[in-house]
Amino acid sequence: MRLPRDVSGDDLARRLARLGYEMTRQTGSHLRLTRTAESAHHITIPRHSDLRVGTLDRVLKDVARHLGVGRDDVIARLWER
């Protein structure tokens, strides 16, 4: 599945809340999100207006690995209509 384009850090944080991630802190222009279900998982997202494709891909792969699903499944869950 193709990665979405023009995704901001704030938008990604809101979408990740659907999967149980909550903002635990902000340092400068970076958000730290934590998911505490099963085991704790932390990810850091830059709070930029448009995330780079590589940055978005890395975050989604990290979330997919933690959830035990594929990256495409995470994309489908976050951007389903």
Structurally, how many domains does the chain consist of?
1
The residues with which 32 forms a beta bridge, in sequence order, are 25, 44
DSSP class per residue in 21-72: -EEEEEETTEEEEEE-SSS-EEEEEE--SS--HHHHHHHHHHHHHHHTS-HH
* Domain annotation covers residue 54: yes
Domain with 57 in it: what CATH number?
Answer: 3.30.920.30
Q: What is the distance between the alpha carbons of residues 49 and 61, in angstroms, rounded to a whole number?
A: 21
Q: Global pTM? A: 0.90
Domain that holds residue 22: 9-79
Each residue's pLDDT, cut to its tens digit, for the chain (81 residues) gives 889 888 999 999 999 999 999 999 999 999 999 999 878 999 999 999 999 999 999 999 999 999 999 999 999 999 986
